[in-house]
Structure 1
Amino acid sequence: LQRWKADPIFTRALLLCFCDDIQPNWHRGRQSYIMYHGTTMLNAMRIMTEGFSPSFDGMLGPGVYVTRSFEKASCYPLHSNGEMLAVLRLNVKVGRVKKIDYQGHPLQKTWYEHGYDTAWVPPNCSMVNSGLEENCVYDPSQITVLDVIPNLRF
């Protein structure tokens, strides 16, 4: 019982076991990540001038949907009607992150009401067909656009 007081490695391991919001790739000390958002080129230009408009609803409720996977972002939007496409490279200040790793999670659509800034769906948790991770950022002011990358998807 006294070991946790003297051994910081043991203490961190214990925290990782009991805190569902700490994950190896989401260190609490690191506040921002490079992420991506797929959209049309027209919307990308609008986002550059006006900022993101959060969606009203989705798998994780309201917010801006982003991913650390360029591959996943390049698949969006799902229906483009022949428009030019783009992937935005972003700097995202994630803040307090809530892991949502199964359908029907009690906070799946209300995490932001409980003091979380970002909801995170980890990879391969069966919530998304691609098996890739996904994030929803409640406050668009936490997102800075770094680049607009033309998406040559056909």
Structure 2
Amino acid sequence: MRERRETLDNDQHLITQVQDKLHEIANDVMYHGTSTANAMSIMSHGFVSSHHGLLGYGVYLASEEKAENFARDAKNRGKGDGATILMCSYHAPRIAIAVTAEEAEDDWQDSYDAMWVGSTSRSTRPELCIANAANVVVIGYKYLGETEYRNPHC
């Protein structure tokens, strides 16, 4: 019983840390990595929610490093040639939290604007899935290997 209590205390500590971080990022910047053709389409027409992700439908955002990896792998995932990272602003006041994607509830979109997971079966890095694509706006882009983001409105 003592071991279970320690585990719960550790879990609660982790959840508190995650909630503090989520408060910081509730209206912050994250990144989306994809092929160059998809990036140009997103910048012209806006995001379209993915229906194939581990967290269900939504727009998937991550750290810049994780987005770069997704962009680098875009061709292998059938997304097209080239690699582009989109810097995105988003609005998600109600964020559900799961330590792993496997722990995320299937119907989170019914009650939350976004789902944050600390890891997935494909990555140990966190990601955020925004339920409503209209709540994600591209504020910059760069091609893989570049250091500076460009203005998407020029």
TM-score (norm 2): 0.73
Q: Give ranges in structure 1 of 5+ residues lacking alignment.
A: 1-16
- Secondary structure (helix, strand or coil) at the match of 2:99 reads coil
What corresponds to 1:87 in structure 2?
85
How many residues are aligned here?
A: 129
Q: Give ranges in structure 2 of 5+ residues lacking alignment.
A: 1-11, 147-154
Name the larger-Rg structure: 1
Q: For 1:99-130, what per-residue CA distance to the aligned partner results, in whole angstroms no more than 9, with x for missing partners?
A: 022354361x21012x10000002xx5x3443
What corresponds to 1:38 in structure 2?
33
Percent of aligned positions that are identical: 29
Q: CA deviation at 1:93?
A: 1.1
Structure 2 CA distance for partners of 1:103 and 1:40, relative to 1, 3 Å: closer
- CA root-mean-square deviation: 2.5
Structure 1 runs of 4+ aligned residues shifted over 2 Å read: 102-106, 127-130
Once residues 104 and 59 of structure 1 are traced to their aligned partners in structure 2, the CA distance between those partners, rounded to angstroms, is 8
TM-score (norm 1): 0.73
Within the candidate set 73, 76, 87, 2:70 is matched to 76
- Secondary structure (helix, strand or coil) at the match of 1:76 reads helix
